[in-house]
Structure 1
Amino acid sequence: MSALSRPNRGTARPTAAVPRAGLVQYALGSAGMGIYVTVPGLLLLYFLTDTLGVPPWLAGLALLVPKVVDVVLHPFVGSVSDRDRARNGNRVRVLAAGCLLAVAFTATFAVPGSAAADPYLAAGWVAVWFVVGNTLFAAYQVPYLATPTDVDVGYDERTRIMSFRMVVLTLGILVGGALAPLLVGDGSGVSGYVVMALCLGAFMLVFQAVGVGGVRSLARAGTAPGGAAEGGGTAAGAVPPARAALAQAWSVLRANRSFRVLAGSYLLVSTTTHLVLAGLPYFAEYALGRPGLTTVLVGSFVAPALVATPVWFRISRTLGKQRCLLAAQWAFVLGSLGMLAGARTGLAVVVLATLVLGVSFAGLQLFPFSMVPDTVRAAGTGELDRAGAYTGVWTATEAVGSAAGPYLYSAALAVGGFAATRAGEQVAQTAGAHTAVLLGFTVLPAALMVLSVLAQRRYLLDSDARGLPEQPAAAPGGAPGTHQGA
């Protein structure tokens, strides 16, 4: 089947849609996740280099090394959540443990004075607490994202579930991205970051708790049939060894070509988007000369997704997810190059390019996440018992990209000779450093996204041709359609 083929709905069997109330409760859990995926990505590299005086190469390593742990951690959590579902019918037990994330989030920025005085100690403090935070994030995110695969719905309904999630996730990203720089303040030092983390950590905790209830609701809405989880003979509910979890992760990658291609492409997407997020404060300060624009640019980047997400959803019902995803990828390339032009022509072009990136970002988040359940279900009902393993691999891919992006940008800064500073210090950056700030933020992400397009074109599954359940769907916030309970 062509990668750009229309979804085949002829063999689908109808199923009831997820009731709107349960879907909204589930989606609200993403608001807290939006804080965690945004604030460290936006501010942590900048916090290290421009507040703690950590050299760019060391700052990049402090953010990269903790994410290496995720390569093992996320598949392990996925296997644990599969066994939790086999035993209890849902993934809530593992999910609830992740609600401690706000503590680690705050501690990451609360660098004590003794550590803050030494760049190596400061980098070590941030790295250690970042590992703890990533562990708790995995405990929440992996079972949370595996739950839609458990629900017995079809091609468009899976996109509908993820579109509700994407709207709420966007609100969380907007809250975190817009408020975090304002709460930190200009030149406030470590104390400003601690205040920010306490405020946003409380927001995170409340919505994570709501999301736990939402996962229960979604699980009750219609769980797909499945028996005891696979995984090398481990009893249902038992904790699998990490080695077995890694073997299972390798197994799903090797056996499912569609998932493998999708994950490879999304690795580049995640790397690109997190690179742009990490580079945005530097771009605002050193390329535009207006550090206060960080909040404005984050808003311009994220806010369009609130409108674009339901639009992307409706378009995908006609064109399919693959075509829409490729269009979003190309739009991101154009937006990145537009930022390069805007840095030399004026703020209006920068804002316009940022809006293009925001519309693209909505598609880059909506479609890959809604295509993961497609790849699992197309592989056969036997794979449903390993949905957590798939999600563990997927979120590990996202985590690696979220570290690789800032690391690549920090490497560009280091090559350009960017000088790290402490809070309140003023250092004149060289011409090479300014060039690195600009090209690392524009040309580098454009090139990475082109590579992602080339990888995504190898994805051949964009239909329910194997008789997976299908039902017309209503866009989030739109008029009720033929869905039961929509």
Structure 2
Amino acid sequence: MTGFDPPPATTLPRGPLVGFATGSVGMGVWVTVPGLLLLYFLTDILGVDAWLAGVALLLPKVADVVLHPWIGHRADTDRARHGHRRRLLLLGCALPVAFVALFAVPAGLTGAPAAAWVAVGFTAGNLLFAAYQVPYLATPADLAIDYHERTRLMAFRMVVLTLGILAAGVAAPLLTGGDDATRAGYLRMALLLAVAMAATMAVGVAGIGRLHTTAALPSPAGHAPPGWRSLRTALANRQFRWLVGAYLAMSTTTHLVLAGVPYYAEYELGRPGLTTVLVAAFVAPALLVTPGWLAVARRVGKQRALLAAQTAFAAGSAVLAVGRPAGLPVLVAAVAVLGVAFAGMQLLPFSMVPDVIRADTTGTGAGTYTGVWTAAEATGAALGPYAYALCLTVGGFAASRAGETVVQSSTALAAVRYGFGALPVVVMLAAVALQRHYTLDRAARAAR
């Protein structure tokens, strides 16, 4: 590919960078809390069978495969016509309303009706999430910045996003009532976190506006190409296909682990309260290691750094498959290794997508590429919990309602452990195999 332009010298000011990054907090809450608690909410609070709970979380994501690229095309059309993507960003700011509705299951609804309520709320929320996320992630490609400055921009996002994920991941289980979680507790949690989502997403819109004022590239002339043609062109891009395929496997793995945390804490470690400890161990390292991943990427390139992160994630997951005999300190340390790797897997791919977009010579808009990218992320967010739910189903895991105590069989307990540890190893190694086919990074570094 030969579409790299001469690297601009623009260094983005810190204020707009922080404003842009703050917008990721609301998105982080949406990804983290449903990913962490929604499967458990269905099976252990609402009495939904594991297989049906998995379906209720999977089907809403199926629509994302079509909706995200379409929203990306609409974002490109807005930029071509108006010079910005603000309209969709403002629509996405309604996401906190859907977040509350997701956990506001009416009293008396259990089993299949409760699953249907959650599925409908999840579908609406995913649409609003896409309306915000797609134009948000198109921002780096809209700016006159080079290879390393795009990584710096996403590093700011990663640090702030991590703070949001950590705060939500630790606070959400506590706000639900901890070991004595109830429906009312889940609704209280949703209301409180929705306020934070609304505030930070509004700051993000303002931050994007300031970045565009500082370093926006000229808007493309005319209108965006027809949606299906743009989509076909994006998917025909070989480098993008390998990158997005690898990210689909990464997203599936990380969301599988996130969905399994409450089960692993309660049924493998015997202490539901350890959910917050494991979440903190998974998320907190990113606050310390993100600058390190940025330095590694500068030294060896984003591609090699990402392969190292993927390999570390597989190694940490293998330790978790051992379970209780390894000892609690070792298991918490293994989760921390996943967290270190997770930081790299969030920073590096998201800064590689703008490299692909800037190398493109077909005129395909950044929104179309990010729409396909976020569709892959959403698909992984669905496949991960669904894969874990299938593991529980195969193991004979018994659902329950709030306040009930169910004794799980030995096969169910094994499913909890191996689904949390062994399965992520397999999927992450698939991500490594796919990622090795991406070859654009050397050209992107040379062109800066």
Q: Which category describes the TM-score, using the shorter chain as reference length?
A: over 0.9
Query: Counterpart of 2:416?
Result: 437
- Among 146, 154, 174, the residue aligned to 1:182: 174
Say which of 133, 155, 163 aligns to 2:155: 163
Partner of 1:329: 310
Match of 1:148 in 2: 140
Which of 258, 277, 280 lines up with 2:239 in the alignment? Answer: 258
Alignment of 1:410 with 2:389, yes or no, is yes
User: Match of 1:214, as an amino acid?
Assistant: G
Within-5 A mapping of 1:382-401: 382-383=362-363, 386-401=365-380
Number of the residue aligned with 1:376: 357
* Structure 2 counterpart of 1:457, from 425, 436, 446: 436
Q: Contact 2:301/2:445 (CA < 8 Å) preserved in 1?
A: no
TM-score (norm 2): 0.96
Structure-2 residue corresponding to 1:193: 186
Any idea what the Cα deviations from partners look like across 1:279-324, whole Å, max 9, x if unmatched?
0000000000010000011001100001111110011101000000
Kept in 2, the 8 Å contact 1:378–1:466? The answer is no
TM-score of the superposed pair, with normalisation by structure 1? 0.89
Question: 1:91·1:147 contact (CA, 8 Å) conserved in 2?
Answer: no
| Correspondence list, 1:101-250, <5 A | 101-116=95-110, 119-185=111-177, 186-225=179-218, 226-232=220-226, 245-250=227-232
The Cα shift of 1:342 comes to: 4.7
- In 2, Cα distance between equivalents of 1:354 and 1:318: 26
State whether residues 285 and 291 of structure 1, in contact with CA within 8 Å, keep that contact through their aligned partners in structure 2: yes
2:262 is aligned to: 281
Aligned-pair CA distance for 1:418: 0.1
Confirm or deny: 8 A CA contact 2:105 2:118 kept in the other structure: yes
Residue of structure 1 aligned with 2:275, choices 294, 299, 302: 294
Amino acid at match of 2:123: V
Q: Deviation string for 1:152-203 (max 9, x for gaps)?
A: 1111111001010011111111011000000001223211100000011111
Number of matched pairs: 444
Structure number with higher helix proportion:
2
Query: Which deviates more, 453-462 or 17-26?
Result: 17-26
Cα distance, 1:221 vs. partner?
1.9
Deviation for aligned residue 1:228: 2.6
| More deviation, 459-468/70-79 | 459-468
- In 2: Cα distance, 1:180 partner to 1:78 partner: 31
Aligned-pair identity (%): 57
Q: Deviations over 1:396-445 (max 9, x none)?
A: 00000000000000000000000000000001000000000000000000
CA distance in 2, matches of 1:291, 1:404: 24
Letter of the structure 1 residue corresponding to residue 197 of structure 2: M
Structure 1 residue 73 corresponds to structure 2 residue 105: no
Q: Which residue of 2 aligns with 1:484?
A: none
CA distance in structure 2 between the partners assigned to 1:350 and 1:467 by the alignment: 41
Q: Distance in 1 between matches of 2:79 and 2:6?
A: 26
**Structure 1 unaligned runs (5+)?**
2-8, 233-244, 471-486
**2:34 pairs with 1:55:** no
3-state secondary structure, aligned to 1:17: coil
Distance 1:440 1:266, change over 3 A: same
379, 403, 407: which one aligns with 1:424: 403
- SS of residue matched to 1:463: helix
Task: Indicate the residue corresponding to 2:331 in structure 1.
Answer: 350
| Equivalent AA in structure 2 for residue 208 of structure 1 | M
Paired with 1:252 and 1:466, the residues of 2 have a C-alpha distance of: 22
Instruction: Show structure 2 runs of 5+ residues with no match.
Output: none
**C-alpha offsets along residues 223-261 of structure 1, whole Å, 9 cap, x if unaligned?**
2232234323xxxxxxxxxxxx3443232111x111111
Q: Verify the 8 A CA contact 1:54 1:120 in the aligned structure 2.
A: yes
8 A contact 1:56–1:414 mirrored in 2: yes
Measured in 1, the distance between the counterparts of 2:315 and 2:125 equals 34
Look up the equivalent residue of 1:204 and give its one-letter code: M
The whole-number CA distance in structure 1 between the counterparts of 2:83 and 2:446 is: 25
Partners of 2:191 and 2:128 in 1: CA distance: 17
Alpha-carbon distance in structure 1 between the residues aligned to 2:183 and 2:411: 28
**Given residue 53 of structure 1, which amino acid in structure 2 is its aligned partner?**
G
How big is the shift at 1:38? 0.2
Query: 1:464 deviation in Å?
Result: 4.5
Q: For the residues of structure 1 that align with 2:347 and 2:417, how far apart are their CA atoms?
A: 28
